[in-house]
Amino acid sequence: MTRRAVQTSSAPAAVASYSQAIDTGNLVFLAGQIGLDPSTGHIVEGGIDAEAERALRNVIAVLDAAGLSMSDVVKTTCFLADINDFAAFNAVYGKFVTDPPPARSTFAVAALPRGARVEIEAIAVRPDELNV
Protein backbone atom coordinates (compact mmCIF):
# COMPACT_ATOMS: atom_id res chain seq x y z
CA MET A 1 0.00 0.00 0.00
CA THR A 2 1.20 3.47 -0.86
CA ARG A 3 0.63 6.35 1.55
CA ARG A 4 0.96 9.94 0.45
CA ALA A 5 0.37 12.99 2.61
CA VAL A 6 -2.04 15.57 1.23
CA GLN A 7 -1.38 19.19 2.10
CA THR A 8 -2.85 22.51 1.07
CA SER A 9 -2.44 26.06 2.29
CA SER A 10 -6.18 26.53 1.65
CA ALA A 11 -6.88 24.71 4.93
CA PRO A 12 -5.21 25.15 8.32
CA ALA A 13 -1.77 23.58 8.53
CA ALA A 14 -1.31 20.57 10.77
CA VAL A 15 -0.13 21.77 14.18
CA ALA A 16 1.02 18.42 15.59
CA SER A 17 2.14 15.00 14.36
CA TYR A 18 -0.53 14.43 11.73
CA SER A 19 -1.23 15.11 8.06
CA GLN A 20 -4.19 17.06 6.72
CA ALA A 21 -5.02 13.84 4.87
CA ILE A 22 -3.46 10.55 3.83
CA ASP A 23 -4.08 9.32 0.29
CA THR A 24 -3.80 5.54 -0.11
CA GLY A 25 -4.62 5.56 -3.81
CA ASN A 26 -8.24 4.48 -3.52
CA LEU A 27 -9.13 5.88 -0.09
CA VAL A 28 -8.35 9.31 1.33
CA PHE A 29 -8.57 9.80 5.09
CA LEU A 30 -8.97 13.41 6.21
CA ALA A 31 -7.89 14.59 9.63
CA GLY A 32 -10.46 16.50 11.64
CA GLN A 33 -11.03 20.09 10.58
CA ILE A 34 -12.25 22.80 12.92
CA GLY A 35 -13.48 26.29 12.09
CA LEU A 36 -10.01 27.81 11.77
CA ASP A 37 -9.54 30.43 9.11
CA PRO A 38 -6.38 29.28 7.27
CA SER A 39 -5.36 32.87 6.54
CA THR A 40 -5.47 34.02 10.18
CA GLY A 41 -5.04 30.81 12.16
CA HIS A 42 -7.96 31.82 14.38
CA ILE A 43 -11.39 30.30 14.95
CA VAL A 44 -13.95 32.22 12.91
CA GLU A 45 -16.45 34.35 14.80
CA GLY A 46 -20.19 33.85 14.53
CA GLY A 47 -20.92 30.77 16.59
CA ILE A 48 -21.70 27.22 15.52
CA ASP A 49 -23.03 28.20 12.07
CA ALA A 50 -19.87 30.06 11.09
CA GLU A 51 -17.58 27.42 12.60
CA ALA A 52 -19.39 24.56 10.89
CA GLU A 53 -19.25 26.33 7.53
CA ARG A 54 -15.53 27.10 7.91
CA ALA A 55 -14.78 23.52 9.01
CA LEU A 56 -16.62 22.19 5.96
CA ARG A 57 -14.82 24.63 3.66
CA ASN A 58 -11.55 23.34 5.15
CA VAL A 59 -12.65 19.75 4.44
CA ILE A 60 -13.45 20.77 0.85
CA ALA A 61 -10.01 22.40 0.47
CA VAL A 62 -8.23 19.24 1.59
CA LEU A 63 -10.43 17.09 -0.66
CA ASP A 64 -9.64 19.41 -3.57
CA ALA A 65 -5.90 19.05 -2.88
CA ALA A 66 -6.40 15.29 -3.19
CA GLY A 67 -8.33 15.71 -6.45
CA LEU A 68 -11.67 14.89 -4.84
CA SER A 69 -14.90 16.62 -3.84
CA MET A 70 -17.71 16.24 -1.31
CA SER A 71 -19.45 13.85 -3.71
CA ASP A 72 -16.57 11.40 -3.12
CA VAL A 73 -17.03 11.41 0.68
CA VAL A 74 -18.51 8.16 1.97
CA LYS A 75 -18.22 8.74 5.75
CA THR A 76 -17.88 11.68 8.10
CA THR A 77 -17.38 11.78 11.81
CA CYS A 78 -18.48 15.00 13.48
CA PHE A 79 -17.70 16.16 16.99
CA LEU A 80 -19.68 18.84 18.81
CA ALA A 81 -18.58 20.55 22.01
CA ASP A 82 -22.28 21.05 22.83
CA ILE A 83 -24.93 18.57 21.67
CA ASN A 84 -27.44 21.43 21.83
CA ASP A 85 -25.73 22.75 18.67
CA PHE A 86 -26.80 19.63 16.74
CA ALA A 87 -29.77 21.17 14.87
CA ALA A 88 -27.83 24.28 13.84
CA PHE A 89 -24.83 22.19 12.81
CA ASN A 90 -27.02 19.79 10.85
CA ALA A 91 -28.63 22.65 8.93
CA VAL A 92 -25.22 23.94 7.79
CA TYR A 93 -23.88 20.43 7.10
CA GLY A 94 -26.88 19.65 4.89
CA LYS A 95 -25.97 22.51 2.55
CA PHE A 96 -22.56 20.96 1.82
CA VAL A 97 -23.25 17.26 1.30
CA THR A 98 -24.40 15.69 -1.93
CA ASP A 99 -27.20 13.19 -2.43
CA PRO A 100 -27.06 10.55 -1.18
CA PRO A 101 -25.38 12.03 1.88
CA PRO A 102 -22.39 10.16 3.31
CA ALA A 103 -22.75 7.91 6.31
CA ARG A 104 -22.18 10.00 9.45
CA SER A 105 -21.58 9.70 13.14
CA THR A 106 -21.95 12.75 15.38
CA PHE A 107 -20.73 12.83 18.96
CA ALA A 108 -20.79 15.32 21.80
CA VAL A 109 -17.32 15.62 23.33
CA ALA A 110 -15.98 17.32 26.44
CA ALA A 111 -13.78 19.74 24.50
CA LEU A 112 -12.20 20.39 21.11
CA PRO A 113 -8.86 22.00 20.18
CA ARG A 114 -8.65 25.79 20.51
CA GLY A 115 -12.10 25.96 22.05
CA ALA A 116 -13.76 24.98 18.77
CA ARG A 117 -17.45 24.09 18.77
CA VAL A 118 -17.21 21.54 15.93
CA GLU A 119 -14.68 19.23 14.28
CA ILE A 120 -15.29 17.18 11.12
CA GLU A 121 -13.24 14.31 9.72
CA ALA A 122 -13.98 12.43 6.50
CA ILE A 123 -13.18 9.38 4.41
CA ALA A 124 -13.40 9.67 0.63
CA VAL A 125 -13.17 7.06 -2.13
CA ARG A 126 -11.76 7.70 -5.59
CA PRO A 127 -14.60 7.55 -8.16
CA ASP A 128 -13.02 4.61 -10.05
CA GLU A 129 -13.25 2.55 -6.85
CA LEU A 130 -16.97 3.23 -6.54
CA ASN A 131 -17.67 1.50 -9.86
CA VAL A 132 -16.28 -1.90 -8.91
List, in order of start, the domains of the chain with CATH numbers. 4-12+19-130 (3.30.1330.40)
pLDDT at 132: 44
pTM exceeds cut of 0.85: yes
- With contact defined as beta carbons under 8 Å apart, do 12 and 36 qualify? yes
Nearest by Cα to 44 from 111, 116, 113? 116
Taking the C-alpha atoms of residue 58 and residue 45, their distance in angstroms, rounded to an integer, is 15
Q: In what order do the strands lie in the sheet with 4-6?
A: 4-6, 21-23, 27-34, 118-125, 73-80, 103-108
Taking the C-alpha atoms of residue 60 and residue 57, their distance in angstroms, rounded to an integer, is 5
What digits encode the pLDDT tens for the residues 87-100? 999 999 999 999 99
Q: Is the pLDDT of residue 117 over 60?
A: yes
- With contact defined as beta carbons under 8 Å apart, do 81 and 117 qualify? yes
Taking the C-alpha atoms of residue 36 and residue 120, their distance in angstroms, rounded to an integer, is 12
Position 16 confidence tier, pLDDT thresholds 50, 70, 90: confident
